[in-house]
Each structure stands twice: as structure tokens, then as C-alpha cells.
Structure 1
Amino acid sequence: MANINWEPYEAEIRVLLLDEKKPFLDVRARMIEKYDFNPTLKQYKTKFGKLQNLKAEEWGFVSREVQKRALEGKPWDVYLNNHLVDAKRVKREVKRYAPRFEDPAFVSAVDAVSRERISIRTPLPAFRLPAMALEPGLQVVEDGFAPEMVETELLQRSRSQHPSIVHSNFDPDAVTAEIADDNIVGRGWSEAPPGNASGMPSLSPAEWPYEFTFDFDFSVGEGLVNPSRDPSSRSSPRFSGLTPPVFLKCGISHGDISPRSWSLSRFIDFEEPSLSTRGFQSMLNLPWFQLQALIEQFCWSEGNAAANEIAGFPSGSFTQTLFKRVDVATEQKHRLLSAITTWMPKGQVVGYVSNFTEYLQGLIPERFEGELSWKVQKFFDPSNNTTLQQTFEIVAFLCSNNLLNHEQKKNFVEWTIKQKCLDSLKSFLQISTPTIHSFSESIVKTCISLQDTVILKQLLSWGVKFDNVLTQAFSVRDIDFLKDLLLKVDASCLSGKKGGKLLNQIAATDFLEIAQTLVQNGAEINLKVDLYSPSLHRAARKGNLEMVKFLLNSGANPNLYSEYSPETALGVAVTSRQLEIVSILLDHGAKIEGRIWDDSILDYCSVNNWSMYKVLLTKTGKLEDIHVGTIIHEAKRGPSVLADFLNQHKTQISQHILEKALYESLATDNIPAATALLKNGVNPDGPTLGDPPIMVANLKLCQLLVASGANINVPGLLNKAIEIEDLELLEFLIDKGADLEESGPIALENALIFGNVEAAALLIDGGTDINSPGEVFTSLQAAACSGKLELVKYLMDQGADVNSPASPLKGQTALQAACEVGEVDMVQYLLDNGADVNAPPSLTKGLTALEAAANDYYNKSAETIEPIFRLLLRLGASPKRQDGSPSGILHSLVRKGLLDLIPITVDAGAGVDEMLRGKEGRTPLQLAAEIGDIEAVKTLKECGADVNARPSSRHGRTALQAATCFVQPRIDIVEYLIKNDAHINAPPAVIGGITALQGAAIRGHINIAKFLLDASAEVNAAPAVKDGRTAIEGAAEHGRLDMVQLLLSCGAKGDVVRKTGFKTAIELAEKNEHLVIANLLRAAGK
């Protein structure tokens, strides 16, 4: 196999195996036919066999996790390679492997299981389409708001209308400039273009007016900078934090002008400001502009004594480290940007400037026309060696506005380390502005996740604060780092509940010294931390004897239950097989009455750990008690020994204990014990148990049970034989008289869905009615679901009814199923054999044939959908349902980008403003806007869609509201909708709704927010009645620093319903660890 190049075909093979459930034979045949790619069947199974199967230790891991969640009262789904595993199969395997935890080798193997393939998840609602996670005020949520890469069109509009541009009324003719070209100094991202490269004037010192001055004093929690102005001036607009770009880096002499007193009033009309000028003023306070201005001011005064006086800048070696010049090859530059943003280079290197500029203009505001374009051009200039500072600045903006995900931040940190630029990063982090404070917190969290103790220790030595990220920092398993950390954080972080959370983390380690320090500082010992167990539980589970002793001696309660589990520390120690810890816990008063899953501690031990069971009996003085394991132990010695034992203890042994002993014997393949129990009259059907014993038996044990009179007509038994692909067991059950009239159709349905032809043939030959429905499908419908045309033809030859109606619950006719799978040959075959193209759908979550063809449940390609869809339309398939309920056809076409089919579908009768029912109803236009498809938006508008259609009551969006929620800023869609009379201040949906501005604020799309504000969006619009946020609350909750300041500058007041100001916004910011924003809001509320 080493010589086989799987890479070009691996993704498609995985889709065939996992998504389309194709057997290896079919996959191999398709690869040969399509690509002439011809590995052997054995090579396929060796390479991909693990995709659908789990090893014993992996089932052991699943067993442990599932039972833990069950005890916590939480539902579960098991996924293998991101595909759902049948719950019945999971339950069966859980019972099968749970007893094997008695074997230490098995436990070790389970503990070492990789979780890459396996995940245990909370079940999603049963949507046919993928469900979307919701946060209050926003429909689609990704972890850390990491935007997916979505190609954007080049926006065709004039610069004067671009919302990212801060407009000002400069008059180039009113000034003159003297530029000494040989004096120009480039300093990276914050450098302004030399001369008139951007069309902006450059000023000599003699021409600078003095009446409007800027005083820089950046400190978190004290508000943002405000201007001082000559009292004799004409007016006093709120204006702060920006050095005009026309003053920067022009190679002019400094003269006697203080860099702390720059004027703009000569070039901005403050007397009668235009709309764009008002917008300009609202943008000046942005923390991003403050950082730009501060660095520019430093650059301007570099080499001057005044440089050391600039507030917010460190002194000393700052110049040499921050502005260290690093040569980076052009291809490495765009690789770096691809790693830290969602931008992807398109075309030749010469096109990178326009591509990346377009990308940034959606995210970052400009202070003057062409600023970003010029800076990007400078960045990609091969002669530019200021990439480092430019990179720091753009990453700082994205981090401070929570626009990077963890992976992107990690890429940046790793790049910085690889480039040996930590000294420069240190200096950059020492700049004191809100942007850098927020950036610093992000960097610390990222470094913690990397578990790189070298850089973490450096961050500590730099004086970077860890107080707000202690919980994350304690995940670092380096005792020297943790000791240093404890010395440098505030003592209040180590006491009470805060300290208790840290102690809970340390309890699972052998860092006894750290635990002692926490307890000495008042950490709460018996704290129950969220989903975690108390500290004593965690120490016991890890087998940390010294930690257990220390916690018990410090007052840990040995009988404390976990928040979501009935286990005490003793139960944890028992399941972890920690005999010495069990003994110590008992000595400290631990009670034996606790439970492990569904069993008492003693019952569990008697079955799973006989040696520990004997110790517990001795320690507790319960030597005369009889438990399940006791009976199995005697049964293994033979039927006569068991009979004597049962006679001696008649009054202590119940029928339930005997049946449970039989069940456990069968589950562990203990044939001698099972035989002895059956010979002593134990009921083979286990009527006192939840599941009959026969459900866990293999063929040999089934034969034993049936010989003892067990009932084989147990619901699900035939299905079990099919699922485990045991044809001998299936044949045995049929031969022994399994009721095929009752159970046969369900078993046949199951066999056909999974393409098990042999099992299907056995059931049909045994007399199963081919047209009787199973749980959902008839045999033909199930075969159509499998996508196997040969099965469909076989069943048709056996007399299957092509038009059997869909069952009421999620059913499908054969044609509907074939259309949804996307098998055009099967669709044509069924139509040729009389399939009804307009057969009604299932009452619950059903689809017509046309809807099924457009539906993307099986991730069909557009090329697969279109021919089937057009075929059905030609044959008279109607896009309108007979009962008038919404069809969702247009929605499906929008999702797949099949825009050419939209007009003909509308012409055929589809409702262009049809609202889907359900939690997140959308019209097709609202959906198109929400997924950022401008062409679909235009197509639907041309077909008559209403841009102001009301949103659904639950998490609904108007088209404009939906457009502002897209993960990438799509100003083109926003502009198009407003141009077509979309209501800017349309109220939010009642539950989880947003206004357009609230959507932009939550997403952090500052240029869209600016555009909406300039178009009269209401900054203090009321939130949704339930699960709503005002604009500033949404921005604070999601960590959008510059957005928060923009909204403050535009008059945001916070909670406009309860009149509590920024209280809710501060709470949301703190809950999500956006502490710089919380401080900013506190200062604004004073």
C-alpha cells in the first residue's frame, strides 16, 4: 500500500463510504470506472476499514463516556468520523464492554484511546436540514466568530460612498508642502503615503494651525482620549484620538512644534458639517485609530527627545525592537496573511494588492481615501522590510475585535516565534491602548493553548497580566511556571471560589505544592465546578494518593456527590481501581451506600472487580451480603454448587438478582455461569430486566437460551442480527420460527437501507411481505434510500409496489427517496415504471419528489440536482404543495447556487416570498442575503421578491437584517437592498431578532455599521422581546472593541427598556472575558 497514491481520491472515497454508505466493492468499481484507480479490495479495507468500525478499547471509551452522561441525566449521540452511530448499536456495545473494565490492561487501553475519530455530543433537534447554533441576537454562530472563507466580488462603487472611508473636507489648494524625498522614513502599517500618493495634502510646520489640538493619554478604564480646543474657536465638536494622516512621515523638519499639539480645524468645516463629516467625527474615537495615531506620532518624533514623552509608549529599547526590520519573501507574506485571516490569494502576485485591499475594506475602517490600498501595496512591496510591524498592527485590530479564531491566533504566535520576533512582540504589547490591552489578552490565551512554557514564562517576565486567564493558565502542566504565576497574580484570585476552581484543576495532577499554596490562600476545597467533579473526585480518579490524603486532611468531604452524577469519591476510586485510595476514603468516613451507574457500589464490584469487592466486604463488615457477582462466582463452579448456594441463601436471593446474574454472564460470554443459572431454573427471558438476555447473546448463547425456552420474538432481535452482519444468527432465528409477519418488514427495511442483500434475500425467502412497511419504509422505498438500482430492480421483479404511499412520519415514496439520493438512473427507471411524480409527501417532515430533488440532505452536487429537477418539471411536477404548505424548493435552489432554476420554478408556480416554517423561518430572499449570495438576491428580486417581507417570529430576519449577519461583511448586498427600499430600522423578530444595526454590531462589521448609521439607523433601537440585544450589548458580548466605541460615539445608551444603562452590556462582556470592553463601558457610564 506504500506505493499507492491515495491522496487525489481519498476525499471522494470517504464520501462514498461514510455519506453514501457504499460498500467497498461499489467504491472500488466506481474508482476504476471514473479514474482507472485500481487498488485491491484488501488494500481498500486496510486503508479505510477503520472509518466505520471501532476497536474494543474504543468501544470501552464510548461505554464509559455514555454511561457517565446517562448518570448525569444528559442525552447523547455517538459520532464516528463525524457520522452518527446507531443508538441501539451503542447501547448493545456499552453493555458488552462495561464488564471488561475489571481488566487493568483494558482500562489502560481505554485511557489511551485517541478521540480524533470519536465524539460524544448532545443530540441536535431532528431537522432534515443541518441545525444552526444560536446565540441571543444572532442566528449563525461559529466558535470565536471565525468567519468562513467566502469569495467576495470587487465592489463597484465610488470611493465617496464607501462607508469605510472617513471623509473630511481637506482643501489641497489651501496648503503647500515641502517634501524632502531623501528624508522620508517608512515605518510600516501606520506609515502614511509620502507626498500626495493618496491625493491628500502634505503640510510644512509653518502651515500647521494651532487652534485644535490633540492630547494623547491612553489608559484602559478611563475612557478614550478627548481633544482640547482653543476657547476662542468657533465650535467644540467631540473629536479625539486621530493624528491627521496628512501630517505623517513627510520628511519635514520638526521645528519648535510639539508633536502633542496637532491641528485639523483649518481643513475640516466644523461650522456646518456635512453628513460625511459627522460620520468622520464619530469614527475618530475608535481604539484602532488611536493605536495608529500613537505609532505615527512616535514615528514622527523618533530621534527627538519628545519621543520618550509620548503617553502610552514604553521607553528604552522600544525603537530597536518594535521597528526591527525583517525581510520576508512575498510568497511568505501572503502565506502568513492566509494563515491569520480568511483571505486567500487569487491570481498572480500583482493581483494580491487589490484582492487583499478588498478583503480588508470589509473589516477595517480607513481614515482617508486609499489608505488601505496604499498600505497593502507597501506590504507586498518586495523592498519593504517593515512587514513585522504591519503584521502586528493588523492582527491587533482583528484580535481586539474578536475576528480571529483560535487557529488563526495560534498561527500568528507560531509565526512570530519562528521568525524570532518575540522581543518586538514584547515591545508592541507594552503600548498602552485599549486595542493592545485586548490583543495582549488574546495572545496570552493563545500561548496557553499552545502549552509553550518558554514563551509563557517570557510573557510573565514582561509583566503581562494573567489574572483574567488563570483558569486557562492552570491547564499548563509545568510546576515552575505555575509557581511563578502564583507569585505574580493578585492574592484575591487564589481564594474562595476562584481558588477552588484552580484547586479543582490541580487536583488531577501531582503538583501538591501548588495545591497547598491554594489552600493556604483560602481556596474553597469542596467546590463543585460546572460539569466537573469536586477536587477530591478528580484526585481519586487520577489515582493521586498524596493529593487525596492532603485534600482529606484539609477538610474535603468524602461523601460529596458530583453536580451531575450519583458518584461519590469512593465510587470514583472503585471504578478507577484505586484500592489504596478506597481504603483511605473508608478510613475518613466514606459511605458504602453510593452508586455507580445503575448499581450499588458493592453490586458493581462483585461483577467487575472481585478482589476489591472482597476488600469492601471486609472493611464494611457486610460479609454475609449476597450480590450479583457472588452468584456468578458460584455459578462458574457448576450447576450443583450453585444449587447448594441458592438453597442456603433462599431468603436473600431475589428473582431479579438471578436474572441480572444471567444477563451479566451472557454479556461477558461466560458460558459455564450462564449454563448453570439456566439449569437452576432462571427465566431465560429475564422479565424483571429492562432488556431480555437474548439481546446480548451471540449465536452460541442464543442457541443455549432458545434450548432453555427463551422467546425469540423479541422486538429488535432480527435487526440486531442484521446490524452485526451475523447471517448465521439471522438464519437460526428464522428457522426457529421468528414472527416475520410482525418483525420481518422492519428487519427487511433495515437490511435494504444498509445494502445487505444476503439478509434481505433470507427475509424475503422466509416469507416477509415485500410491500408491508417497516418502521418508516417499505422494502422498495428502503432500497431507493440505499441508492442501489440493482436492489430496486430486484424488488420490482419480486412484485414491489412502485407507488406505495409515504408513511406519515418522515416517510418517502420510492421516487421521492431516489430523487433525494440523487440517482438519476434510478429516478428514470421508477418513472418508466409508473412512479407518480406528484405523490403527496409524508405528513411529518416529508418532501415531494421535486423538493427531494432540490434538497441537499445527501450533499449532492449542483450537477447531480439539475438534470433530475428539470426532468421532473418537464413531466409536470408541481413546486406547489396540494395542501398549500410551504415547499422550500426555492430555498434549496438558493443554497446550492442553482440560480438558473429559480425563474423557471417561479414560473411553474413556486411562491417567491414563501416563508419556511420552523424555528428559523426565512423567505428565499432572506436566506440568500443571510448566506451572502448577491446574485441570488438579485435573481429573487427580479422575480418579484419583497425586500421588506416580515421576519418570522422566532429568530427571523428581514433581508437587510440577514445580510448584516453574514460571517463576511457584504456591503454590496446591504447597499443593494437599501437601494431597493429596504427598511433600515425594521423592528426585530419577537424572539431572538435583531435590527440591521444590531446584526452588524454583533458581527463586528464596523464599516457596515457606519454605513447604516450614516443612513439613519437607530443606534438605540429596542432589542427583541426575548433573547434580544441592543446594538451595544451585542457588540460587547461578542468582543467588538471598535464597534463599542463607534456606538458610544453615536450616542448609544445601553439598556433602553429597563433604563439601566450599560449594566447588561458590561455583564455580557465580563461573562465572555472581554474585560477591556467592560472597562470602557464602565468609564462611559460614569
Structure 2
Amino acid sequence: MSRSERIPAAQWDTHKERIRSLYIDQDKTLDEVMEDMFQSYGFRASMRGHYQTVAIIEVVQGQDIALVEQLLQAGADPNTLVPSGLFALRIAIGNQDLEMVKTLLDGGADPDFLCGNKQLDAVKNARKHLLVSGLDEAMCLSVPIRTAVGRGNTTIVESLLVAGASIDGYIDPDSLGDLVCGLWGLEDASRTALQTAMIERDVPMVELLLMRGASANAGHHTVPSPLQLACQLNEPAPQKTDLVTLLLKWGADVNAPAAHQEGMTALQAAIETGRMDLARLLLHSGATISAELSNEDGLAWLPTAEPGHLEMIPHLQCRQKEMALGLQAAVQSGSTLDVRQLLDDGADINKESSGISLLCESIRQNDHRMFDFLLSNGIDPDPPGADQTLLCAAISRRSRYMMQSLLRAGADVNRQSIRKPPESLFSFPEEVFWPDRCYTPIIAAVKAERADLVQMLVEAGANVNPPNSHSTLSPLLLAIHDEIWQVAYLLLHHGADPNATDPEDGAAAIHKVLLTFSSCKIEMCKVLIEFGANASAASSIGSPIQLACAQYNAQAETHALIQAFVDAGADVNAPPTEEFPMTALQKSIETSRDGTVVEKLLSLGADIHAPAFWDDGITALQAAAKRGNIDLINKLISLGADVNALPAVRYGATALQFAAMNGNIKIAMLLLEKGAHINAPGSKVRGRTALEGAAENGRLDMVYLLLENDDEVDLIEERCQEAAEYAEDEGHHVLAKLLREWKP
């Protein structure tokens, strides 16, 4: 037997006897019972939910006038609203059934049903009934006259007006409160009859409504005015012109504010749709650009400056603002004739729009003709307030010609730009080394990798050294960072300070050279020293000699760099820093692939006794043990290196601890023979004793060596238990078991 949803409890209680009789006595299915109940009692139960139907609604839909008259005589309410938003009069209008409309009006149907906040309780009850019935369907509301206008039926409109319908009536969305969440088409419902006629492009209906007293300006503030709607239409010229002309004749407000966030005034809408003829008509009717816009960026007015429409601009209020926009558009289009026309009409060539100067726009367009025209007409080559100077903009286009012209016109060769220019102006990609600080034209020229532009700026008086190293980057440092050696040589020859430092890390030019991957390091370092660079200059990233030892350079190159720095007075024992926590000797041992660099440093007096820097530092002997260089260990010990030198506080290790962690038995035995403390404590941060380090790294043979040579028998079991934890954490379970069971 087929099944439907359960009948609601209230309806079951009312009709259960009838349902039982139908079902039991006549052997009907439940679906058949549901249909019978609908026919007999006017309620429906279906898979869509349950809602009470209204007889008059059903009969009006069936267009049975005689039955409608009977229902009305029997007291049926013609103004009942069903959950979908329908009511009898609206259905009749939708069917364009004039006789039914008249019958309903004669029977008490309200011609202003739902206007304003009328029947608000009916809307709330209908919505509530939907939700209680388990449906969350949206309601669609409309006042009668708007429905009739939407159908284009002038006869029904006349009948409604005769019956007393408000010609400017609409549903007030402000009165609906939370109900708006359950409605769709609310903007349509909030339109007046005249606004609806505009949407329908129905000129005869518009004429009828205006003649019957419709206001050309009535409507809710969230809905565009009739004139705005007419100007927004994409219609053939005659029809749209007729609508606008008609509304203006009947007093439409040409300066009504835009309706919502993306709305437009009538003038703005006419321009946006390309109807300059209508824009002129509106202007002659009193439209102003100062009318309140929802869109504040002003860009919608740029089409007024398109070729052929510039004659409109002098008629607009806020004239200079509009002319500035017109000039910008004319420059963008490359029309010097249009620019000339605007200047003749009184436009200010130095007034910016949208924060972009006209000259900057011509540079961006790479338009030499417009650029020359603007300069010849007195435009400022250095407009105040710009984030980026015009010289920097010209450099970004690699335009030698524009640079020369700007310099001849008096552009300040040392004026700073306050931020990095946008990619739309600079064709080279953003890099890490772009300063967030101010920069000058010479910095831009260096970044453009143009020695000729740098030369031109220097000859024009550009400072090769920054006036304030804390806010401006040195051109020399930038040239070296980008490995533009020709520019670096040029700057040095013109007086660039070889010891200027980067305020971020204190690094000078000689440090920056050593951080590059260039094959010209030796030559460039020698050039810098020749020009007075300090070969002992300290920085947070280390001294020159430390950096030379840190690089994986060719052996000969490293030797040459070290010798050049020492010859220039560099300290071979420059102290470590937090960013470079080793001396040159310590670093060279840690990174060297052979012993020649170490030998070189030792021959120059490198200190083998220098302690480990507190953070991630290492002594020379510890570095040799870490690298597993037993020959160097022997040599350092013979020179007096301390086998028990303290490790770094953070991430350090003694020489024996490094050997234990690496599993280097020979080195461990050598160090033990030389007196290394087998149970020396580990570093305070992430440190390990020799036994813990060997266990953690799974060095079974090393563990045996350390245990067999441990003379502190009383505490050996405790140390084994601690070491076993490290072994267990790394999955060395056999080794962990051995340590836990170890007995001296």
C-alpha cells in the first residue's frame, strides 16, 4: 500500500472519524484519503508538507466567476493571504481576468492590499504557517497595481485606480523586519507602479500613470528613482529618450541621490551607458556632478572625457575636479588635442586626479609626444606629495630621453620617493633587497642595472652616498648585492663611501661582496680596499675574514681573500657574533674540505685557544672532533689545545661528546688518552653527555668503550638509566635494554 506523510495532529483530531470512514468502509489507500480530504475540507497532506488551502483561491485560479460570487456571498474573505504570497486579486490580475478583478473588487477585495505596512499581520501569519508546517519556502509579495503594470494591462490598472488603489503604493520593506529573510523579489515588491513600468520599458503605461497622478519621484530610498531606472536601461535611442523626456516633463528630480551601494545618479547612469545625448539633456535640466553618489571613487565620470564628449565638461559643477578627470582620460588616450581643449577651457594641468599626475601617466604610457606636450605647457616636473618621483618613474621605463627632459625641466635629482613603486610602474620584479625605506633616483637607476642612467644622474648632481643611512640605502651596497659590478666601479670612482653600512645588519660593501656567488670576489674586495674599505670592519654577520672562511670557495680563492684582508690589517682572530658564532679558524675547521686554509690561518697567528661562543659556538678542537679530523686533532693537542674546553651554553658539545655522537672510536680513544673527561656535563640547552650522545645515536661500540673506561663506578647505573631514555626515544631498543641492565 502506498504511503504519504502523516496528517498533522490538529487536522487528525478534527477529521479522524471522516478519515476512518473513508479508509475502512471504502477500502481506500492513504493517498486517496488525502485527496478526498482536500476536495471535502480544504487541507492537503503531501510530501511537500501540510498547509491549509483557501477555497476562494482555488476557485479564482479556476476562473469560475459564478462560484466566486457564491463564495463571496457566503462570507469568504477575498483578502486572505496564503503562504506563497498569493491572494485572490493578485491571481485574477495575473490571469488578466478583468471580470474576475471587478467581481473581487465589488466583493470587498482591497485594491491596496499589502501597500505600505497594511496586512502586515497577515504576512506574519502566513510565514509562520509555512514554518510550522515544516516548509522554509520563500514568499513572493506584490501590491495589486504593481502586478497589473507588470502585466501591461492598462484596463485593469484603470479599474484598480477607480476602486481607490494608491497609484504610488508599494510594499514598505522597512515595516517587514525579520520577515525580509523569508521573501524573494523584495526589490521588485518595493517598486511603485511607475518604477515597474520603467523596468518593463512600457512608454504608454508610463504616460497613463503620470496622467493619473503618479509621482515622478515616489519610491523607497533603496530603489532607484524612475528617472535613474530609465537612464540605466540599455534601450534603443528613441524609446529611452522618450522615457527620460517624459519623466523630466512631469518633474522628475535629476539630482536624486543614488539608491544603494552600487547605485548611480541619473547623470552617472546616462554616462555609464554611453548616452551622452541624455547626459546633455539632464545637464540642461539642472543635473550636477555634485549630486550624492553611492560610488565615491569618481571613475564613472571618466567616459565624459572620451573623444567627442569633452564639450560637456565645462557645463558640469565641481568643474576643476571633472576637468582633472578629463585631462587624465585625455592623456590616457594620447590625445594632445583634447588636452589642449581642456586647458583652453580653464583646466589646471597640475591638478591630480586619483593620486596620479598627468606626467606620470604619460611616462607609464611611454608616450613621448604627450610627455613633451605636457612639459611644454608648464606641468610641474616635481609635483608635491607624490609617493614616487617622476624621475624614478622615468627610470623604471629605462627612458633616458624622459630622464634628460625632466632634469632639464628642473626635477630634483636627489628627491626621495617614500616607498617602493608599484609593479605597474617598475618592470623588474620585487626582490628581498628592495628597501622599505626611502630611495632616490640613483637607487632606482642602480636597480634598473643601467650604468648610463647612473652616470647621467651623477653628472646632474646626484648624491652617491645616502644623506641618512638609517632611512636610505647606499647605491653601492645595492649594486654589489645585485652584482652589477660596472655600476659599483662607477659609484666608487665618483666618491661612493666603501664603508657605508646597511642599517639592518651593519654590513659594509666588503661584506656584501663576500655574500655573493660572483667569481669577481677577490678583484672587487681588492678594489674596495684600494678605495679605503676597512678590511677589519665588524658587523653582525661577521668580519670579512670570517665570511671568507665560511664560503665554500675554491681553495686558492679563500687563500687569496685571507691574505688580502690580513695584508690590509684584518684581525685574524675577529670575535664571533650571534649571527656568526665562530672565529675564522673555528669556521674554517668546521667547513674546510682540506687542511690548507687551517694551515694558512695558523701560520697567520690564529688562536687555537679561543673559547666556544655561548650560542652555537665551538672551539677549534671541538670543530676538528665534529669533522672527524684526527690528524688535525693531534696537531691541535700538540699545540696545547684543551681537550676539556667548555662547550657552548646552547647547542654545544665537548670534543669527546662530538666523537661519541659520531661514533668515531679512534678519536674518542685518543681524547680519552689525552685526559678528556668521560662524564663531562652536556651543554645547558640541548646538550648530551658522551654516553647519552652515543646512546641516542645508536653507537653500541662507543657505549661499550665509554662504560669500560668509566672510573666513576658509584653513579654509572644512574647514568645508564638516563642514557637508556635517549636510546629508547630514537628506537634503539636493544641498546636501551643493555644500558638498563648494565652492572659495573
TM-score (norm 1): 0.31
**Bigger relative contact order, structure 1 or 2, given CA contacts below 8 A and separation 6+?**
1
Larger radius of gyration: 2
TM-score (norm 2): 0.44
